[in-house]
Amino acid sequence: MKTEPDSNDMTVHPDDNKRRPHLCTVCNKGFTTKRYMKEHRNRHTGEKLYSCTWCEKCFTTRSSLSSHMNAHTDKYKCNECGKCCQSNQALTIHFRVHSGEKPFECNDCGKRFARAGCLVMHSRKHSGEKPYKCHLCDSAFRLSESLHHHVRAHTGDKPYKCSLCNKSFSHCSHLYAHKRSIHSSRKRYECPYCGKHFKTNSHLNRHVLIHTGAKPHSCKHCSDRFSKPDQLQTHLLRSHNEGTWSTCHICEKKFISTGNLKLHLLRHGVKPYACSECPKLFYTAGELTHHQLVHSDFKQFCCGLCNKGFKRKVAVVKHFKKCADNLGFIDVLSTQ
């Protein structure tokens, strides 16, 4: 098997003098035909018109679909792990996972990479180059994926939908985190101090601060320290007048974050979230989800002492305290 790098690893045009009159209005990349330019534009819009007949996965270009179809055959199969790749180039790059070879080295810091594309993206950290520009504002990005996610903030597009609750997200990683934290019962992150388990690493890190008492976020103006970054942001605004308040243009109420302001603005307008079981309307999706527990028999929270089920977290916390008192536990909640 060939493991050395070759010209196929580099994204270069075979004929640099070829005319490319069709330019992308987003990144100014040139193409020889209008069809190639239109397919390239789909990468910026996120539109995927070409679907695989084997797995129903969708792609933005015909060439991407054609390469993907090879993954369902043994045409480019790794002899080490049996993985089927989309092309001989992809197989060559994949084999570096087994060999550990990283032939591409950064001239600025010496860091090595298995792919030429990874080296190109890394080098932009040193040069500051941001070739991908948003056509709706002046923002620029190093990666095309970052631009795609940014454009969705303008359009409001959320193509990734949860199959369990129909909640939509603008990024696939946000959908994955949602399923893991809301719908999954698996808690793989264990506290080294008390053995309590958590669904996400961020929840574990917040919990560990209870045991250590650490306050990693310090104010640069005074000696105050905080355990959470939002606490530091609030302190800077209130005590040192650093930062910008988000002000409601209707009632002039001030908020620490723009997210809280957006939720507040809903209360000046209509209630867009309607319950499918009754005529009640709500300002936010969270309020609707909380209300729908009334119509459901599902009890997702269980008491750790008697295993009694509850629909809401507040209810199980109150019941847990009563159980602890009845069983004679002392300060049982202080260790949670």
Q: What is the pLDDT of residue 216?
A: 84
Angle between helices 144-155 and 34-45 (to 10 degrees): 70
Does 313 map to a domain? Answer: yes
89 vs 7: CA distance, rounded Å:
10
* Coil, helix or strand at residue 238: helix
**SS3 for 226?**
strand
148 and 68 in one domain? yes
Give the pLDDT confidence of 143-182 residue by residue, as tens digits.
Answer: 877 887 788 777 778 878 887 777 788 777 788 778 777 7
Domain boundary among 138, 155, 172: 155
Domain that holds residue 168: 158-214
SS3 of the chain: helix, strand, coil, percent, to 5: 40, 10, 45
- Tell me how far apart the alpha carbons of residues 265 and 284 are, in angstroms, rounded to a whole number: 11
Number of Cβ atoms within 10 Å of the Cβ of 197: 13
On whether both 144 and 48 belong to a single domain, the answer is yes
Distance spanning both ends of the chain, measured CA to CA:
55
**pLDDT value at residue 300:** 63
- Ranges of residues in the chain whose predicted pLDDT is under 50: 1-15, 330-336
Q: Where is the domain boundary, 135, 155, 175? A: 155
293 exposed, middle or buried (CB, 10 Å; 0-12, 13-18, 19+)? middle
Assess contact for 278 and 269: CB atoms under 8 A: no
The count of C-alpha atoms lying within 13 angstroms of the C-alpha of 131, restricted to the half-sphere facing its C-beta, is 11
Tokens 């005074």, residue?
Answer: 222
184 lies in some domain: yes
Phi, psi values for residue 213, rounded to 5°: 70, 15
Asked whether residue 37 is domain-assigned, the answer is: yes
Is residue 233 domain-resident? yes
> CATH code at 39?
3.30.160.60
Total count of domains within the chain: 5
| Total Cβ atoms within 10 A of residue 320 | 22
53 and 90 inside one domain: yes
Task: Tell me how crowded residue 225 is: count the other CB atoms within 10 A of its CB.
Answer: 14
Do the domain assignments include residue 266? Answer: yes
> What per-residue confidence (pLDDT) applies to 299?
67
Average pLDDT value over all residues in the chain: 77
Q: How many residues does the chain have?
A: 336
> Which one, of 168, 177, 227, 233, lies nearest residue 201 by Cα?
177
C-alpha dihedral sign at 39, 45, 49, 53: positive
- Kindly state whether residues 109 and 189 are assigned to the same domain: no
Q: Which amino acid is at 92?
A: T
For the question of whether the overall pTM of this predicted structure is more than 0.85, the answer is no
Which residues, in sequence order, are bridge partners of residue 168? Answer: 161
Q: How far apart are CA 300 and CA 313, in angstroms?
A: 9
Supply the pLDDT for residue 6.
42
